[in-house]
Chain A
Amino acid sequence: MYKIDPAKTELAREFKDKPFGPHSAELQKVLNVMRWEPVEGKYVLVNTVPHKEWCLAQLPGKRGIPVKLHEDVKFTDLGEAEWYIFKMRWKKHTGQDLALD
């Protein structure tokens, strides 16, 4: 199984620049790893104001349990919100904060 190399920050840069793709094959490998995370506790985005505001949230493991909203982390740009999730998952998989120049 592919492991995300924390030294390959150029891939993170590529995602930051083009969060909705097209993505390179190497970045796709990074994203594939991130997407395999289990559902319960996964960080996702909730569109709290249609087309204007997105809030960080965590998924429950099954139906009937509310999605946990992190009201203190909100975005007005979906691309920035995607980038935030990317950084959180990067840290989870590499153990390192993602710091770009």
Chain B
Amino acid sequence: MKKLLGYCDEISVRPGQDINFKVSSEDAGEFQLDIVHVRCGDDTPSGQGLKETVVKAGVNGSYPARYQWTQVGSFVAVENTAPFALESFTLQCFIWPTLLEKEEQALMGAFNAADKAGYMLGIENGQAVLKVGDGKSVETLASGAAMDERRWYFVAASFDAETGKAYLVQEPLLRYAGDRGKATVESTMKVRPGSGGRFLIAACNDRREGEVIATAHANGRIDAPTVARRALSRATMERLKPRSVPRDVATDVVAMWDFSKEMDGVVAHDISVNRHHGAIVNMPTRATKGWNHDNSEMVWTHKPEHYGAIHFHDDDVYDCGWQTDASWTVPDDLKSGTYCARLTQGDQWFYIPFYVRPHTGKPKARLALLIATASYYAYVNNHMPIGWGSLGEHAGNTFSHLDQVDLHLQMHPEHGLSMYDMHSDGSGVAYASRLRPFLHMGPRDSLWQYNADTHITDWLEEKGIAFDVFTDDDMHEEGVSLLEHYDCVMTTTHPEYYTTEMMHALLHYQDRGGRFIYMGGNGFYWRVAFNPKMPGAMEMRRAEDGMRSWIADGGEYYMSFTGELGGLWRRNGIAPEAICGTGFAAQGFNYGRPYERTAASEDPRAAWIFEGIGRDEKIGDFGTVFGAAAGSEIDSVDFEIGTPPHTLVIAQAMDFGVDFHWVKEEHQHAHSAVNGENNPYVVCDMVFYETPNGGAVFSTSSIAFAGSLAHNNYDNNVSRLLENVVTRFCDPEPIPAP
């Protein structure tokens, strides 16, 4: 188990910039922190070994170890308690429950479970309940009718402190035969509500070591939560349903929150005259269909009033919120590159990755290495080996393999989920965050993303090729003005997740004569969005098609951060083929294949790429990632959707066999000819083409490619080929148009 963990507040820092490290340890004593430059993180038996160098830094040293707690689960909190310290009240909202097996879930109220005080509307044992506590005991009124998951209900409760009369209604909006799930109940309670503290939606208050925390998180959607300061009649409850407050009821209404407002924000807007706005904590899913969605509009920006629900989850996490243990100012003379804060304590170790970039417009090299941090965020803390079940084995072509990190994540919800996971209620994870420890994403981990990308930094260092490092975050912020100072930009092995701003930056870099090396497979695939109001957060919707771990609900394909259509770039007007000549073709995770040169490789436009490589040599029939250079996830050309017409397919890997699966977005109908044994599209195309103003693009189209670079002490045809390309692409002499 991982007992020592940490994260930092910035992923990419310039010389002179501060970076803060936040650490949590389950062991007492002290931990050691050292800044290390990471050249290679591959410590597998066939790899080049861990190559890290400690940087002389004032922040290096030992620090007191402490455990830092994380609030898990999303909710809305209103900090101003006085208006909600009610004796009589009405609570009402619409709910779409998604995990009724969870015994206790709070929907709304000012209630503290530890203090047994306050009032709340909730779900217990699959029924709506009203709970009132006076600080000594809690009385509960339950509907007595079992609800169904993923069915809308109107739930409301009122309490009259003068008479003690409690009233509860649970009314399904979608009617089935009979009165299934419908109930109206009353009782007379002896208790009167005590002080429950903060008014919360989708959770209630609790205590942990004296501090007030949120607990009993609801799973599912809540729409139009409303609070009144007296017991309203059933008829008045009805009048408050449409998310507006009639003037004659305004003095009774304490708050009515409209979740369709400011979809990209963290404020729950109270549309009553009182304006008791709440804070939306831990990134619940926004832009989800509300109780009144009638299928008239599937784009939330066109009719936001139909998207007034928030989908809360008890395992949502945005920012762990840990205190800073160590701060460092990046020295002015530190070279751009891949760095980590390495934490050690006893037999425990942990890496906090970050990147040092140069100032914009002050390049230190001709080559820029573009780190696919957006794709890192999508995969961080994934629970796939356990959570994917049969899908993982079918896609991976092996029986399930777990490691110590998987065992840790299984038991530690405080690190959050990845975009490859489902929430505890089975709904897909649409948001990711870097403000939490990165597990499955660092040196000494599996050869996927971060650690596989160190094969590239290792090779560049070995070859003595100078390079500056930038992240996706940098490119998203600064666009082409960041890239245009470099003769050549090179990606890492799997740049899968791209914002609109990032796609445009690469396209315009190429238009201006930049040279672009695509070092990966399955790149530029999913459209994602960042959000200035939520630094470090990223959104994605697994919309209409694609190799998906979950499927977004119909009408929820548009991102809450930007209103943009989510899903595949292939379905969003810029296919990957328009960026790098090739797009995702197939995947298989148990072996790879070498490339073979094509006739086009002899074309004088591209023959220089193969200088020193024989015409019939198999290129990359070796490697540490599945044993060959073409493998894992592979791409191919498609001239109909974006591959430039003058593109040369200079090498191709084929004969992948039954274990390599064709991507589903390319076939119209289901059939059995969808693997490398029986499908001619399951190939990996290495391509070259010229771009305007003396530029060019070279694409390996394979995630596994970089794993072959170090073979035979870096003396091999994959290494030679890439060196030929990098050397020419970093030469400012224009590459002639064909």
Contacts and interface: CB of A to CB of B under 8 A. Distances in A.
B44 interface: yes
Interface string A35-46: 111110011111
A45 B396 CA distance: 14
Contacts of B404: 46-48, 50
Interface stretch (B145-153, B382-390, B608-616, B707-715): B382-390
A39 B590 CA distance: 21
B462 interface: no
Contacts of B176: none
Interface in B397-445: 397-404, 406-407, 410-411, 413, 424, 444
Given A21-B657, A23-B658, A51-B44, A44 B399 contact: yes
Contacts of A51: 43-45
A24 B659 CA distance: 9
Contacts of A50: 43, 403-404, 444
A47 B446 CA distance: 11
A64 B99 CA distance: 15
Interface residues of A toward B: which range?
35 or more
Contacts of B398: 19-20, 82
B402 A44 contact: yes
Contact of A66 (B410, B424, B657): B410
A67 B658 contact: no
B659 A67 contact: no
A45 B387 CA distance: 15
B407 A28 contact: no
Nearest to A57: B402
A62 B424 CA distance: 8
B677 interface: yes
Contacts of A8: none
A64 B413 contact: yes
A46 B410 contact: no
B393 interface: yes
A61 B590 CA distance: 26
Given A37-B390, A44-B401, A22 B424 contact: no
Contact of B401 (A36, A45, A62): A45
Interface in A8-60: 19-25, 28, 31-32, 34-39, 42-48, 50-51, 54, 57, 59-60
A85 interface: yes
Contacts of B399: 34-35, 43-45, 82, 85-86, 89
Contacts of A3: none
Interface in B146-182: none
B591 interface: yes
Interface residues of B, number: 33
Nearest to B393: A35
A23 B658 CA distance: 7
B590 A36 contact: no
Given A35-B390, A63-B413, A44 B659 contact: no
B3 interface: no
A37 B390 CA distance: 7
A53 B386 CA distance: 19
A35 B394 contact: yes
B400 A42 contact: yes
Contacts of B424: 62-63
B130 to A, nearest CB: 29
A51 B422 CA distance: 29
B407 A20 contact: no
Interface in B201-253: none
Interface of B is mostly: mixed
A43 B393 CA distance: 12
Nearest to B589: A20
A78 to B, nearest CB: 8
Contacts of B657: 21-23
A82 B397 CA distance: 11
Contacts of B383: 63
A37 B404 CA distance: 23
Nearest to B678: A25
Contacts of A25: 658, 677
Contacts of A86: 399
In this complex, which of A36, A59, A85 has the most chain B Cβ atoms within 10 angstroms of its Cβ? A59
A92 to B, nearest CB: 13
B402 A47 contact: yes
A24 B676 CA distance: 12
Contacts of B590: 20-21
Contacts of A59: 386, 400
Contacts of A60: 386, 410
A43 B400 CA distance: 8
Nearest to B392: A35
A29 B444 CA distance: 35
A60 B400 CA distance: 13
Given A20-B590, A39-B390, A63-B410, A45 B402 contact: yes
Contacts of A35: 390, 393-394, 399
A21 B402 contact: no
A32 B591 contact: no
Contacts of B386: 39, 59-60, 63, 67
Contacts of A39: 386, 389-390
Interface string B566-580: 000000000000000
Contacts of B385: 44
Nearest to B676: A22
Given A37-B390, A50-B43, A45 B677 contact: no
A28 B407 CA distance: 29
A16 to B, nearest CB: 14
A100 to B, nearest CB: 18
Contacts of A34: 393, 399
A65 B412 CA distance: 10
Interface string A66-99: 1100000000001000100110010000000000
Contacts of A28: 658-659
A47 to B, nearest CB: 4
A67 B410 contact: yes
B658 A22 contact: yes
A40 to B, nearest CB: 9
Nearest to A24: B658
A3 to B, nearest CB: 17
B550 to A, nearest CB: 15
A65 B409 CA distance: 11
A64 B400 CA distance: 18
Given A20-B398, A21-B397, A46-B401, 20 more contacts: A19-B398, A20-B590, A20-B591, A21-B591, A23-B397, A25-B658, A25-B677, A31-B397, A34-B393, A35-B393, A39-B386, A44-B400, A45-B399, A46-B404, A47-B403, A51-B45, A60-B410, A66-B407, A67-B386, A82-B399
3 residue pairs, one from A and one from B, having the closest CB atoms: A22-B657, A35-B393, A44-B400
7 contacts: A21-B657, A22-B591, A32-B394, A35-B390, A43-B399, A44-B385, A45-B400
